Structure 1
Amino acid sequence: MERTKESAVWRYFKLNTPTSSTAVCNVCKANVARGGGSTASYSTTNLIKHLQKHHATEHQEFQQLSRSKGAGGGPTQQLTLADALQRREKFPGNSAKAMRITEKVLEFMVLDGQPMSVVENEGFRRLLEHLEPRYNLPSRKYFSETALSEMYEKVCEHLSQELRDVDAMSFTTDIWSSEVCPMSMLSLTVHWLDRNHTPRSAVLQAKNFPGAHNGDTISTAIKAMLDKWNIPLNKVHVILRDNASNMKKAMEKMGVCSLGCFAHTLQLVVNEGLLSQRSVSDAIANGRQIVKHFKHSPLAYSRLYDVQLQMQMQPKRLQQDVRTRWNSTYFMIQSLLEQKHVLGAYVVDYDLPTTLTANQWALLEKTSTVLEPFEELTRKISSSTASTADVIPAITVLKRILTKEDVADAGIKTMKKTLLQAVKQRFDSVEDELLYALATLLDPRYKDRYFTSETSTKHAKDALLKELEDRGLTSTAGAAEASQRPEKAPRMETAAEAVAAPSKSSFMEAFEQILEESEDADAASSSSTAVQLNEYLAEKTITASDSPYNYWEANKHRLPDLAATAKKYLCAPCTSVESERLFSTVSNTVNDKRNRLTADRAEMLVFLTKNSSLLLK
């Protein structure tokens, strides 16, 4: 049967009607019989012979087109022996096609956390054989000893190029120990703002770190990592670390600025200020036993599920907390409170290891209320765009919330007072830390509006002025240009935005209240040596939901020296969360299926996985 419009021959012929018994040659206009006695038996054989006999050039072109179309819809011609043999031959190992497929197989293993042994799995090999029979899958040894190293070097070179022109970088570091093999790793993650003021980060190393983890060995290891990437110490703006004494000593020995993780300090505040109270800890301990009971007993959970359905509630599991993460305790309390009535119905028919008294339920409700702004803050500072600029405003807002008395505070005043004392104790000198203070000034959402001490504000502004002067801000031309700039109009909330705005949390209400009070008190200075800084500080702040990075990209020509300084101070995160997230990847890489991985290969896999954005460029 004729395959009418699939054949390349129809480039050279046309039909007057779909059922015509002849086709018209486009070259010589001759009518050529299609063969057969009916539409069903027509073929293209006569048409091809006509081209071969009368139009050699077109016939040669037709043959090339037919080969290129092949099995994808070309004419039903028989393959030559040479073509058939070629289609059965395997790609040479160094062919472009084979190398590209090998690269994609390695990407699959890296990005999806697959062990190198996947290339030995029968199902995977059959899949590749079906997709491309001519591809010869290399061995596991090739991927682990050759391909992995080549990809690692390629991404390293790309990252080195990106970091070469960066003037100031911040770092996060942490130590991890495996539970499935005798391996410890020390991580170093770099953070910077690129030429467009876009926040960037990349893992430099997750280095094998055997032996003692003291200040000397840590400082030596981190210095070696920086040397490997040709990063001099004068480009290190700050290193974020945990609050352990060995980490503090290591940074002091290196002679670099360092800050403790804000999230870790907040953890201490909540533990010391609230969760360590006897009545609260007892209520939480009872709640924890209830959650464990359902987590470890499928029968108990099945019964709870039935009770939830009977009470027409959405079936939901209780959340288990992790004692080293206070916010997980908050989520556990929330899940218990949501299922309070369900648990009450459950104990009518079934036993529990313990129960919560009416006073303990009330205490958990109060604890949840008090911890809500802390949980919101923790989410805020754990985002990938959070910076050291967020710390001073966050502490100011927390103090405002904990100090403010409300009619709804009945029964939780003591909790709030205890937490306030813990906040003041842990963050007493936060405004005097210049790394925090200058970052806050350079964030257009905050500027100087969240400082509570006039002395600290003046000290921070003087330090920023000195930094700007070191960059050459006080040149006459620069000052004159900045002084001629009109003040930006404040951003006004539109009626549509006011209607659409969701109800604000207590944290955001306090945040905006402080901002409004500070904005009203603003007055621009006319000091000729600080015209650019004064112009910036005199303007209204941008909204909390706007990006400070976008602001500086849009204003880098209007406020060039401030924008350059912002690149330095806003590149620093306020937590070491990125390092903790890195070790989640490490745990997935060095697991039961990969417990024989050498430290060097584990490091390469983690590096490539975390830097996947560079890998896919």
Structure 2
Amino acid sequence: MLKVLDARYVVPSRKYFADVALPHLYNTTREKIRSELKEMQFYSATTDLWSSRTMQPYLSLTVHYINTSWTLRSICLQTAYFPDNHTDALSSWGLSEERLVCMTTDSGTNIIKALKDNNWPSLQCFGHRLHNAIENGVKDPRIDRAIGVCKKAVSAFSYSWKKRRDMTEVQAELGLPQHLLISESPTRWGSRQKMIERFLEQEKAITRVLGADKKTRHLVPTWQDLEVLEATNKAVKPLQDFTDALSGESYRRKKELTKTIKANIMRYLESKYCDLEKEELLDMATLLDPRFRTTYIDASKLEVVKKRAVSEISALCNSTTEEAGPSAVQENTPPKKKMTLG
């Protein structure tokens, strides 16, 4: 195309992009980020260990901070081959360990141990903990059976275009939405909930299509399976709808199962957030968050948390004043006011 437009133009080679263009873009971007990072006072970070499609391990490092314009920023600094040395990851970007507020990770024992060895404040990702809590909460033979039936039925449609065609015809006849069934992704509990929810939505069409074929008639779910799927679906729907799911139960057995799932999830989460150091970190973060303030802090600890916040803010102000020098103190000292945190 370029040859037709202008035969005199020579398209840069792959070597040019690999040896000149990309390194220049990388160095320019890196210097820009380093300049921005110099302006921040404190930062938190997240790190994650993951595998590529060829199963090679990589480690990512992302920093989060509020810049001078009070804008929340998140920048992925690097994704590096894991067996390499990562001890200089922060220092290579000019980041001081003393300014690290918290490092968020998954629940991997290797990552947790590494942070403890470095004496870095840390928290485990709530999304990862919630995933594990739900996986533990739904460990029940009734649920295992019902989900197994659901997955086999979904697979029967996934591998047969004829059944998908028949499904479309039955959906139109029954006035059901023209939706495809959803397969579960083993690493995402949300995909299981979506699979169950779609299965329940299309249950009448699924039953008719599977029941019409003697080879798949055994895959038709029983009323007990459907009852368990309904209870499970209501229990693992988005947490903001959890209370509505509980109050909407019509059968005692379903209600008891839903309550059991909820109790198992809450028990798991409580066991993972009972560490005193993490509680203090979360209490301080909650107090300073204008959305929450003192709403979720235990009343018996409230005064202690407030005093600690005032002490740390005062220490920070004193440190800033000392750095500015005595002349700056005299020029910029405002009238003294009592510091309060409500």
User: 2:28 is matched with which residue: 154, 177, 190?
Assistant: 154
Number of paired residues?
323
> Could you tell me which residue of structure 2 aligns to residue 235 of structure 1?
99
1:434 matches 2:299: no
Residue deviations 1:248-276 (CA, integer Å, cap 9, x gap): 11101222111111111111211112x21
- Counting aligned pairs with the same residue, the percent is 26
Give 1:179-578 correspondences, 5 Å limit.
179-180=53-54, 183-210=56-83, 221=86, 223-273=87-137, 275-350=138-213, 351-352=215-216, 354-374=219-239, 376=240, 401=243, 406=247, 408=249, 410=252, 411-428=254-271, 429=273, 432=276, 433-451=279-297, 453-472=298-317, 480-481=336-337, 528=338, 530-531=339-340, 533=341, 537=342
Partner SS state of residue 61, structure 2: strand
Q: TM-score, normalised by structure 1?
A: 0.49
* Amino acid across the alignment from 1:165: E
Q: Is the 8 A contact 1:431 1:437 kept in 2?
A: no
Give 1:282 deviation, angstroms: 1.1
Q: TM-score, normalised by structure 2?
A: 0.85
* Counterpart AA for 2:311: K
Q: Which has the higher contact order (CA 8 A, sep 6+)?
A: 1
Q: Output the CA distance in 1 between the equivalents of 2:126 and 2:315.
A: 30
Counterpart-to-counterpart distance in 2, 1:132 and 1:456: 74
Structure 2: distance between partners of 1:142 and 1:427: 56
Unaligned runs of 5+ in 2: 322-332
Is the contact made by 2:163 and 2:209 (CA closer than 8 Å) also made in structure 1?
Answer: no
Q: Tell me the distance in 2 between the aligned counterparts of 1:407 and 1:179.
A: 43
The alpha-carbon deviation at position 339 of structure 1 amounts to 0.6
Shift of 1:362: 1.4
5+ residue gaps, structure 1, are: 1-125, 211-216, 378-397, 482-527, 538-617
Alpha-carbon offset, residue 199 of structure 1: 1.3
CA distance, structure 2, for counterparts of residue 130 and residue 416 of structure 1: 70
Q: CA RMSD in A?
A: 2.7
When Rg is computed on C-alpha atoms for both structures, the one with the higher figure is 1
Q: Is the 8 A contact 1:269 1:419 kept in 2?
A: no
Following superposition, the deviation at residue 130 of structure 1 comes to 4.4
How far apart are residue 354 of structure 1 and its match?
A: 1.9
> What whole-Å deviation, never above 9, does each CA across 1:385-427 have from its counterpart, x for those lacking one?
xxxxxxxxxxxxx7xx49x974746432343244224413432
Aligned partners of 2:46 and 2:104 also within 8 Å: yes
Give the conservation status (yes or no) of the 8 Å contact 2:181–2:199. Answer: yes
- Inter-CA distance 299–145: structure 2 relative to 1 (3 Å threshold): farther
Structure 1 residues 342 and 414, CA gap change in structure 2 (3 angstroms): closer
CA distance in 2, matches of 1:203, 1:344: 48
Q: Distance in 2 between matches of 1:349 and 1:131?
A: 62
